[in-house]
A and B are shown apart, each in its own frame.
Chain A
Amino acid sequence: MSAQKKKAFQIEAFKHRVVVDPKYAEKTWKILEHAIHEIYNHNASGLSFEELYRNAYNMVLHKFGEKLYSGLVTTMTSHLKEISSSIEAAQGGLFLDELNRKWAEHNKAMQMIRDILMYMDRTFIPNTHKTPVHELGLNLWRDVVIHSSAIQTRLQAILLENVRRERSGEVIDRGLMRSITKMLMDLGPSVYQDDFEKHFLEVSADFYRLESQDFIESCDCGEYLKKAERRLNEEIERVSHYLDAKSEVKITNVVEKEMIENHMHRLVQMENSGLVNMIVDEKNQDLGRMYCLFRRVPNGLVLVRDVMTSYIRDTGKQLVTDPERLKDPVDFVQHLLDLKDKYDKIITSAFSNDKTFQNALNSSFEYFMNLNSRSPEFISLFVDDKLRKGLRGVTEEDVELVLDKVMMLFRYLQEKDVFEKYYKQHLAKRLLSGKTVSEDAERSLIVKLKTECGYQFTSKLEGMFTDMKTSQDTMQGFNARHGTDIADGPMLSVQVLTTGSWPTQPITTCNLPAEIRGICEKFRNYYLGTHTGRRLSWQTNMGTADLKATFGKGQKHELNVSTYQMCVLMLFNNADRLSYNEIEQATEIPASDLKRCLQSLACVKGKNVLRKEPMSKDIADTDTFLFNDKFTSKFFKVKIGTVAAQRESEPENQETRQRVEEDRKPQIEAAIVRIMKARRVLDHNNIVAEVTKQLQSRFLPNPVVIKKRIESLIEREFLERDKSDRKLYRYLA
């Protein structure tokens, strides 16, 4: 032993070559090949997993991965070819069954094989960028079995045939279908799509095209929609049961296109059952169905909406131009409200409150309501009727409901200032005759109008209420002061109206009877005593009187008459017969009013407290009037005065129109001046647009009138035309 060299402990490689048994690879492969055969022949139980795994492992380790892999491919391919043949051999209905079974087996086999070859899967395959085992199994199945010429077409045909059968009502094996489609999906999305889905959609399209054609010839609109809905739901259910979820939107598109989109015009316009008929008959369910279905196709709802809109506009236009309908304004407005209710209900229940439909309804109403220039007057008459008697005994909530509905119609009016004029007139009559059902309801409506139109709109109306209240207080004061010295005479009740708040009335002449002149003077003095600097004038054309009358046989009646009528009747205390001229002289009432007054006293059955000679219908200057001794009436109180608001006659309407036009002129001018003051220089179109915008809450100004006002302002040197560009107007400070 030499103590000099102390080497580290080393392990050296074998000096001899380790020769791997050349037949080693082949032998090992054969073992594995055999195993694969066994697995495919359902004999896997006899195999040792551990041993096989090790063999595969060793092959890869010793660099025989390539052999292993290619062997695998070859073996599987040959097995799959066998399987393919057996599937092809299956007859009729068993084909799918066989395919499905073999597929399941194949998957199980693949799993086992993969487990055995796990090492290769994890090392050799990634390194060589080859297809992993599992995927390889799928691809081979696809290429060898599914895409084999015999199987491919047959598979497709059978699948589609099954769908067709199911559509005709037959029951099919859905589980089997599910497995097959799942198989296709597992093989890759393009397999599912190219081998099945594409054809499925095509065939479905043809199917539904035919079916829809058949239905549309034989069904009415409602039935057709039911069928379409049913088919749509069927397809959705079909997808959930045995197709890929992504197919749902594609198949529904097919159904929608073929059954709905292609026929939508025909459906909507269908005679006796189309959209219009559904609306008329309030078939809300059918309408709802139509809405849901048409919503699914492009422009479906647009079509429905357009047809509905033109229907509403046409019927609305008919309604407002029908002279029969227009005879009774209250009835007319009620009809409008009923229509609105009906359409609202349809939109809420059938059209799921779709805002675009709401808007279409609103614009339609606005369109046709403004076709009739009397709409503002009629709405005011409707309100008048309600506040006079219609709302008697109605609960507060219901009152609010009615008023809100009226406000809705009011909003559609373009000429709100016309409404204001009539409303004022009618309100005045109601207040002065004391004929309003509920002051709360009156007030409530004023508040609504104020919210809608602003303070300006309602300030005068509120002034009228104030006057009524103040008059009450004044009367209290008057009676307190003079109570004793007027106790014997006629009872006086005065309403003092502030000019400007109340509708303008012409001052007319009228000689009050002596019996009341005294107390009237007393009141006048009392009032002027407490309110210096004011001027009072009796509005003899607006007052009322209650007279106690005794007739020939002693019948007593109380007559409710107008002031004019009182003046005439009182004359008969001193004469039994009077000529027209005598009456005219004594009362000094203007001729047209007097004639109307006499007519109501002498020519109306049941109210003829006077007799006329001759008994003609009209009042002539040569007539004579006598007190009607023989007058009878079942009622103690006989109402002769005409105080209720009525639909204006044509000439009256013209007059009001004119007044409205006159009132508009200063408003337009004020708007022009306001705008020009702010903008200094502006061209014509812009002025017109701005003025219209500013005034639209009251009325729609006529561009011609605007131009006239501008010219008037130029003449009065508020504006001038710009010297360099005559298209512009310039504000003159």
Chain B
Amino acid sequence: MPPRASKRKSAPPNSSSVTSSDGRSVSNKAKTKGMDKIDRLFNTYANSSLGMIDPEGIEALCSDLGVDYTDVRILMLAWKLKAEKQGYFTQDEWQTGLKALGVDSLTKLKKALPELEKEVEEPSNYEDFYIYAFQYCLTEEKQKSVDIESICELLNLVLGVQFRPQVDSLVEYLKVQNDYKVINADQWINFLRFCKEQISFPDLENYDATQAWPLILDNFVEWMREKQS
């Protein structure tokens, strides 16, 4: 029996062309079988005319996983899959992603979700995931910023659990202010930095506007301070 580990090695996309001695062919067969399962799972949700999973398919996947469409874990899944287009999973992405997760069935996928969460929360991955979340929203070509509404939702989704008070205030502010109608990547990453650098909240005593914080955060802090006085 070939060890499970061999399945995790990057397998050739179509194992049919490989010819080998017996031993090899056994592992290849197993790989192919694994690939097949992943592919079959893919086809369950894919839009056949498009050749990839579309929003409807993702919705179906979500309900099968028992996870809400807007749950952050789907976003994490997209990150793991390195999905490029929001709302779609290509076959390549699907295959690479599921292999990386080490799953080939729905149940296994469901079980892998908590592990995925932990993986995302590792400090070395978190920032990457955070940035990915923003880029995932850039649906148009050459789009560089995301509208305020979407940003607010995204903040809630991504940072809400860990930094609830900061996110609540920030979202309130973003909805009230008029200076910015969209948020760019630079501002986005600085929201994380703001939460992480433990600016004493909510009094914001140690916030220094002469540091290189983006203007939107300077304005946010001023707004907070006025509210509190």
Contact = CB atoms under 8 A, between A and B. Distances in A.
Report if A and B associate in a common complex.
yes
A708 B212 contact: no
B211 A715 contact: no
A684 B190 CA distance: 15
Nearest to B212: A684
Contacts of A729: 212
A685 B210 contact: yes
Contact of B184 (A683, A710, A715): A715
A685 B211 CA distance: 7
Contacts of A684: 210-212
Nearest to B219: A704
Q: Which of A683, A703, A707 has the most CB of B within 10 A?
A: A707
B210 A728 contact: no
Contacts of B186: 711, 714-715, 721
Nearest to B144: A715
B26 interface: no
A732 to B, nearest CB: 13
Given A711-B186, A715-B184, A721-B186, A726 B210 contact: no
B193 interface: yes
A287 to B, nearest CB: 43
B165 interface: no
Contact of A726 (B184, B187, B193): B193
A714 B144 CA distance: 12
Given A714-B186, A715-B184, A715-B186, A708 B215 contact: yes
Interface in B187-201: 187, 190, 193
B124 to A, nearest CB: 14
B218 interface: yes
Contacts of B187: 711
A672 to B, nearest CB: 13
A469 interface: no
Interface residues of B, number: 12
B214 interface: yes
B210 A727 contact: no
Interface string A697-733: 0000001100110110011000001000011110000
A710 B213 CA distance: 11
A704 B210 CA distance: 10
B193 A704 contact: no
A688 interface: yes
Contact of A707 (B144, B184, B193, B218): B218
Contacts of B184: 715
Contacts of B210: 684-685, 688, 703
Interface string B135-169: 00000000010000000000000000000000000
B221 to A, nearest CB: 13
Contact of B215 (A688, A711, A721): A711
B212 A683 contact: yes
Contacts of B190: 726
Contacts of A683: 212
A721 B144 contact: no
B212 A726 contact: yes
A684 B208 CA distance: 11
Contacts of B211: 684-685, 727
Nearest to A715: B184
Contacts of B193: 726
B145 to A, nearest CB: 8
Interface in A643-664: none
Interface in B170-229: 184, 186-187, 190, 193, 210-212, 214-215, 218
A685 B209 CA distance: 10
A727 B212 contact: yes
Contacts of A704: 215, 218
Nearest to A687: B212
A569 to B, nearest CB: 48
A614 to B, nearest CB: 45
A664 to B, nearest CB: 16
A726 B215 CA distance: 14
A728 B212 contact: yes
A715 B190 CA distance: 13
Interface in A674-692: 683-685, 688
A704 B209 CA distance: 10
Q: Which of B144, B193, B212 has the most CB of A within 10 A?
A: B212
Interface in B97-153: 144
A347 B11 CA distance: 91
A726 B211 CA distance: 9
Contacts of A688: 210
Contacts of A707: 214-215, 218
A688 B186 CA distance: 19
Contacts of A727: 211-212
Contacts of A726: 190, 193, 212
Nearest to B186: A714
Contacts of A708: 215
A711 B144 contact: no
Contacts of A685: 210-211
A726 B214 CA distance: 11
Nearest to B187: A711
A727 B212 CA distance: 5
Interface string B67-102: 000000000000000000000000000000000000
B158 to A, nearest CB: 19
Q: Which of A688, A714, A729 has the most CB of B within 10 A?
A: A714
A714 B216 CA distance: 14
A607 B24 CA distance: 108
A707 B187 CA distance: 13
A339 B134 CA distance: 61
Nearest to B216: A711
Q: Which of B187, B190, B210, B218 has the most CB of A within 10 A?
A: B210
A164 B198 CA distance: 76
A683 B211 CA distance: 8
A684 B214 CA distance: 11
Contacts of B214: 707, 711
5 contacts: A688-B210, A707-B214, A711-B187, A726-B193, A727-B212
Given A684-B210, A707-B215, A707-B218, 20 more contacts: A683-B212, A684-B211, A688-B210, A704-B215, A704-B218, A707-B214, A710-B212, A711-B186, A711-B187, A711-B214, A711-B215, A715-B144, A715-B184, A715-B186, A721-B186, A721-B212, A726-B190, A726-B193, A728-B212, A729-B212
CB-CB nearest 3 A-B residue pairs? A684-B212, A707-B215, A714-B186
